[in-house]
Amino acid sequence: MLGSPALSSTAYGDVGSSIYYALGVTAALALGLTPIVFVIAGIFFLTTSLTYAEGTVRYPEAGGSSSFARHAFNEVASFLAAWGQMLNYVVTISISAYFVPHYLSVFWAPLRTPPWDIVFGAALVLTLVGLNILGLREAVKLNIFLALIDFSTQLLLVALGSVLIFRPHILISNVHLGVAPHWSGFLLAVPIAMIAYTGLETISNLAEETRDPPRDVPRAYNMLRIAVFAIYLTLPAIALMALPVTFKNGHYQTLLGLPPGKGGFASDPVLGIVSGLRLHGLFLTVLRYYVGVLAGTILIIGTNAGIMGSSRVSYAMSSYRQIPEFFRRLHPRLRTPWRSLFFFSATFPILLMLPGLVLHDREVNFLGTMYSFGAMLSFAIANISLIALRYRYRDAELAYKARPNFRFRGVDWPIFAIVGLFGTAAAWFSITIQESNTRIAGFGWLVAGFALFIIYRKRVLKIPLRETTHAPAEILPWQLEYRQIVVPVFAEADVAIAMNLACELAAERRSRITVGATLEVPLGFPIGARLPEEERLGDLLDEAESIADAYGVTVRPRLVRTRSAGEAIVAEARHHHAEVVILPASRPQSRRQSRRMPLDATTEHVLRRAPCRVLLAVEPSERHGPNYPLDFRRRSVPAHA
pLDDT of residue 17: 79
Mean pLDDT of 177-188: 86
Does residue 591 carry a pLDDT above 50? no
What is the rounded distance in angstroms from the CA atom of residue 479 to the CA atom of residue 497? Answer: 16
pLDDT of residue 213: 79
pLDDT of residue 636: 33
Using alpha carbons, select from 308, 632, 329 the residue that is nearest to residue 475: 329
pLDDT of residue 379: 92
Residue 404 half-sphere exposure, CB side, CA atoms within 13 Å?
3
Using alpha carbons, select from 77, 45, 71 the residue that is nearest to residue 59: 71
Sign of the C-alpha dihedral computed for residues 105, 111, 117 and 121 taken in this order: negative
What is the enclosing helix (H) or strand (E) of 465?
A: none
| Most confident of the ranges 76-80, 116-120, 503-507 | 76-80
pLDDT of residue 34: 93
What is the rounded distance in angstroms from the CA atom of residue 613 to the CA atom of residue 581? Answer: 6
pLDDT of residue 406: 94
pLDDT band at residue 417 under the 50/70/90 scheme = very high
pLDDT of residue 589: 45
What residues does 617 pair with on adjacent strands?
Answer: 584
Q: Which amino acid is at 595?
A: R
pLDDT tens digits, residue range 85-105?
A: 999 899 989 999 999 999 999
**Cβ atoms of residues 636 and 475 within 8 Å:** no
What is the rounded distance in angstroms from the CA atom of residue 402 to the CA atom of residue 221? Answer: 11
What are the helix (H) ranges across 73-205?
75-104, 116-134, 140-164, 168-173, 183-193, 198-205
pLDDT of residue 554: 80
Q: What is the pTM of this model?
A: 0.73
Q: How many other C-beta atoms lie within 10 A of the C-beta of residue 547?
A: 19
pLDDT tens digits, residue range 601-620?
A: 788 888 878 878 888 877 65
pLDDT tens digits, residue range 316-340?
A: 899 889 999 888 888 877 778 888 9
Instruction: List CB contacts of 620: < 8 A, sequence separation 6 or more.
Output: 627
Does residue 386 carry a pLDDT above 80? yes
> ∠ at Cα 537 (534, 543), nearest 5°?
150
pLDDT of residue 576: 77
pLDDT of residue 1: 56
Does residue 532 carry a pLDDT above 90? no
pLDDT of residue 157: 92
What is the enclosing helix (H) or strand (E) of 247?
A: strand 246-248
**Cβ atoms of residues 256 and 264 within 8 Å:** yes
pLDDT of residue 106: 92
Q: In terms of pLDDT, which residue wins out, 24 or 481?
A: 24
pLDDT of residue 573: 85
Give the chain's mean pLDDT: 83
pLDDT of residue 361: 60
pLDDT tens digits, residue range 472-517?
A: 655 555 556 677 889 988 766 667 888 888 888 887 656 778 888 8
